Structure 1
Amino acid sequence: MPRRRLRCPPLSEWSLRTRVTVAATVIVGCLLSLALLGFYLMLHWTLEDQLSRRGRDALYELSAFVRLHDPRGEDVLRTQIDGFNLLQSVDDQDRVLASSASLVGYPPISRLHPSRPGETVSEHLTVRGIPYKIFVSATRVRAQAGWRTVYAGTPEYSYAAVRRLLAVSLGVGVPLSMAVMAWLVWTAVRRALSPMRTMSAELADISGGEPYGRVTVPGGHDEIAELGEEINLALMRLQRTVERQRAFTADVSHELRSPLTGLRAQLEDALDNPEDEQWPVVARAALDDADRLQRIVADLLLMARLEAGVQMERRLVDLGELAREELTRRRGEVPIELSAEPGVVVLGSPDHLRRLLVNLLDNAEHYARSRVWVRVRAIEPRIAELEVLDDGPGIAPEDRERVFLRFQRLGGTRRREHGGTGLGLPISRDIAIVHGGSLNVVDSDLGARLQLHLPLARPHER
């Protein structure tokens, strides 16, 4: 049976806790290693500098002694420099003429031969019988009987201690520190992500498309708390959307049922008593109901297209010319006065903007007593304004937002009569929003005053 090879999952499949822990541990390990390396190099440079200075001092003292006395024998060389007790005086034939007690019987401890008098050279070397590496400095001296090379050395106890410290730190300290860091990061990330796991479980419990639950927001003002607040806000918006869609579906069903029921009843009555019915009258009534159904379906289709964000062709539209063309075409019973500044140009869909204007004019004509006013102008900062004002009963302040709800019926004098779809003003506001503008009912001393704001076309767009 072939042996299965263990395969490490790719990084993208690691959990967030694992990725954060591994990344933090690796970074800390690298930083600790670099810090130890830097510390070692600094100590190495410091010790090297100290050894060099003390070696020169030892050579200076030893050279003066050899120059004056040119000593011979063993255990005759000494210095006052602490630690430098490996001393030799060697002639040009590499014969040891004198030495300290520590080097009795040793050959020359180094092959260093300075090229000129007074020059000091140094090296690190190993000498048999001495357990540590030694640091040796050498120089040339003119004695009474000829040239001598003098050596002054010291065991590198400090270097050995530093190397042991570095080895222990790298071999034990760094792995132990990385293990502690990994545990700390793992625990901290687990605690930090605990509210997210709670929110995830609560979101999973919100099933069936019923966004009425809420997730638990942790205390504090960190990013996870902000995420919980945003999730609750999204759930609240989703709940409102679901409720609005349900209400809209119920309203659509009711609005479509009424003309369909009337049409069916008329046709059934006519068929039950065909000899007593005036078929042209029945046909006209049926045609009226069919026209109302067609208007409702067309309005619903337009609203669906607007809400779906269907791309529309945008062109430069002069609002004043658009209003003038529409007023020339209309044959209403209520006079309409137009006041339009020239050059109020916006970038948008001519068909949609015309539909918006028609809806506003139909609404104004329906409730006006004697006259309707339309005003087009440019206001700051770079906003086009179109107002439609009538001298009717007006709209109460508490109803100014309700008139933009779908299929909304108002009480009193602004009650919608049979024949309209109840979608004209909601469609008009959706068109305004799609064009980056707004449509609102504002204060008026006369009747209802609807105000449209759209961004003016920029100079480079014209």
Structure 2
Amino acid sequence: MRVQRVRWRPSRWSLQTRVTAVSIAVAGTLLILGVTVFYVTVRHALYEGLHERGAVAIKLLEDDLQRSDPPAVLAPEVTGFSLIQVVDDQGVVVASSPILAGHPAMTARRPSEERERQSETITVPGVSSRVYIVSERVRAPGGWRTIHVGSPMADLDHARGFFLGALGVSVVLISCVVGVAVRRAVRRATRPVCVMSAELAAITGGEPIRRVTVPDTADEVSELADSINRTLRRLEGVVERQRGFVADVSHELRSPLTGLRAQLEVALEHPEDEDWPAVARAALGDADRLQNIVTDLLIMAKLEAGLRLDRRPVDLGDLAHTEAARRRRRVPIEVEADEGVIVEGTQMHLVRLLTNLLDNAERHAASLVRVTVRAEEDTAVLEVSDDGAGIPVQDRELVFRRFQRLDESRKRDSGGTGLGLPISREIAAAHDGTLEAADSDGGARLVLRLPLKGK
């Protein structure tokens, strides 16, 4: 059986209104519960006091009954109880206080056992307020008697109304005070958020990215502002890199396009004098360069998008032997690879990485390219070195920037895209590895480090 989860509709109230409403509701509920408990406690204490005083009055009357039958008219008041009756088992009033002279029994209820005491609140004809009665069954010389003592509760009823009204007004006033205090507190706490929201809305991207104002308070709002500023700094860096990337791409694409256009325009001006196969070959060369640039850009875009790689075990030693054997060699390539150096990766990407490293080494080598593969603890290490001019120390990071080509590289190959090594580093990073230019006795030495399989 499928259970559907209840989804609440998003509230259209502001945060300030919602927090204030919840605070008032919680405070009001707690106040009502507290007032109720307080009222019940006070009421219970008053009734207990009346009950105890009634017991004292009955005890005094009982002592009089033990000495002789009571007169028909009793004392006007005993310990604050002005309504007194002595009733026999037949319900006949034997004696009463002056105010109840000639009246029937105040209540038909009477205790069934000796010394059993009962209390209740009733209305008595002729008495404007409710009456609290305490009753007890006692033995007298004339037989069993039930003594009723009652106290009008006019003052208590009046005080109860005032008391409940005062408590109700207090609940309302306190709830209002809580609501106003919470609303002001929330407004003050969210004011920096409103400022940050306005500052973020003003950011268009057409100008240097500004930062939001960080409040002086050391709380969650200031932490949010710091987080936003860190994000804006990263975003600014991404935007700057993107602008630089677009500028570099436009520059790299403009050169072959300009050359191609110029060649075709010149050829079309004097078509009868042109060697059209040579023109076609030159145009094809520029087209190949454009295709290489677009292909490299597509690979970098996929890598930067964080696409999930389909990783499988790859033997780096076998990969190095295979790629070195199938290449057209300008200079010899020596491969020294240990057995069983296996990594988890996408073979197509690793082949592209190794191809880029070999292309770079072969372009700059004077007479030899060397490839070594070995395992160091839990890391696979692949090195590609050449005996060329090498990479100056200050330029070792520059070669991994997009479209950055050193003068030596431009002299040897004017058709490169300047994306081979940057793509190789991106592939290494996508495989949780690193690629860097290391020290060498002569020539360039590029070192790839990848985690071994299972490590």
What's the TM-score bracket when you normalise by the shorter of the two chains? Answer: 0.7 to 0.9
Q: Percent identity between the aligned chains?
A: 51
Secondary structure at 2:111's aligned position in 1? coil
Counterpart residue type for residue 125 of structure 2: R
- Pick closer, same or farther for the CA change 1:217–1:62 going to 2, 3 Å: same
- 1:414 is displaced (CA, Å) by 9.6
Say if 2:397 is the partner of 1:401: yes
Q: Distance in 2 between matches of 1:396 and 1:129?
A: 117
Secondary structure at 2:119's aligned position in 1? strand
- 1:207 is displaced (CA, Å) by 3.0
Q: Distance in 2 between matches of 1:211 and 1:221?
A: 28
- Pick closer, same or farther for the CA change 1:230–1:308 going to 2, 3 Å: same
Q: Deviation string for 1:322-343 (max 9, x for gaps)?
A: 3332233234314233333515
After TM superposition, list the pairs within 5 Å mapping 1:239-388 onto structure 2.
239-270=236-267, 281-310=278-307, 313-332=310-329, 333-342=331-340, 344-346=342-344, 348-369=345-366, 370-377=368-375, 379-380=377-378, 384-388=380-384
Q: Distance in 1 between matches of 2:227 and 2:53?
A: 70
- Is contact 1:375–1:388 with CA below 8 Å preserved after alignment? no
- Pick closer, same or farther for the CA change 1:37–1:261 going to 2, 3 Å: same
- 1:376 is displaced (CA, Å) by 4.1
Secondary structure at 1:183's aligned position in 2? helix
- Is contact 2:316–2:373 with CA below 8 Å preserved after alignment? no
Say if 2:191 is the partner of 1:191: no
- Pick closer, same or farther for the CA change 1:77–1:140 going to 2, 3 Å: farther
Say if 2:42 is the partner of 1:46: no
Structure 1 range deviating more: 267-276 or 216-225: 267-276
- Pick closer, same or farther for the CA change 1:402–1:144 going to 2, 3 Å: same
Q: Distance in 1 between matches of 2:454 and 2:80?
A: 87
- Pick closer, same or farther for the CA change 1:416–1:258 going to 2, 3 Å: same
- 1:192 is displaced (CA, Å) by 2.0
Choose which of 130, 133, 153 in structure 2 pairs with 1:133. Answer: 130
- 1:391 is displaced (CA, Å) by 4.9
Q: Distance in 2 between matches of 1:152 and 1:442?
A: 108
- 1:416 is displaced (CA, Å) by 7.5
- 1:300 is displaced (CA, Å) by 1.4
- Is contact 1:133–1:155 with CA below 8 Å preserved after alignment? yes
Unaligned runs of 5+ in 1: 1-9
Partner of 1:3: none
- 1:424 is displaced (CA, Å) by 0.9
Q: Distance in 2 between matches of 1:416 and 1:329?
A: 23
- 1:187 is displaced (CA, Å) by 2.0
Counterpart residue type for residue 218 of structure 1: P
- TM-score normalised by the chain length of structure 1: 0.84
Secondary structure at 2:136's aligned position in 1? strand
Partner of 1:164: 162
Structure 1 range deviating more: 295-304 or 317-326: 317-326
- Pick closer, same or farther for the CA change 1:50–1:249 going to 2, 3 Å: same
- TM-score normalised by the chain length of structure 2: 0.85
- Give the root-mean-square deviation of aligned CA atoms: 3.2
- Pick closer, same or farther for the CA change 1:207–1:281 going to 2, 3 Å: closer
Partner of 2:220: 223
- Pick closer, same or farther for the CA change 1:145–1:77 going to 2, 3 Å: farther
Secondary structure at 1:422's aligned position in 2? coil
- 1:213 is displaced (CA, Å) by 2.5
After TM superposition, list the pairs within 5 Å mapping 1:17-166 onto structure 2.
17-76=16-75, 79=78, 82-101=79-98, 103-156=100-153, 157-158=155-156, 161-162=159-160, 164-166=162-164
Unaligned runs of 5+ in 2: 1-8
After TM superposition, list the pairs within 5 Å mapping 1:408-427 onto structure 2.
408-410=404-406, 417-427=413-423
Q: Distance in 1 between matches of 2:341 and 2:238?
A: 39
- Pick closer, same or farther for the CA change 1:30–1:40 going to 2, 3 Å: same
Q: Deviation string for 1:80-113 (max 9, x for gaps)?
A: xx43443321112322222345544543222221
Q: Distance in 1 between matches of 2:51 and 2:443?
A: 102
Q: Distance in 2 between matches of 1:207 and 1:161?
A: 68
- 1:276 is displaced (CA, Å) by 6.2
Tell me how many residue pairs correspond in the alignment. 444
Q: Deviation string for 1:261-280 (max 9, x for gaps)?
A: 33334444455566766555
Secondary structure at 2:70's aligned position in 1? coil
- 1:57 is displaced (CA, Å) by 3.8
Counterpart residue type for residue 18 of structure 1: T
Structure 1 range deviating more: 92-101 or 110-119: 92-101
Q: Deviation string for 1:213-270 (max 9, x for gaps)?
A: 2322222222222222233333333322222222212211211222233333444445
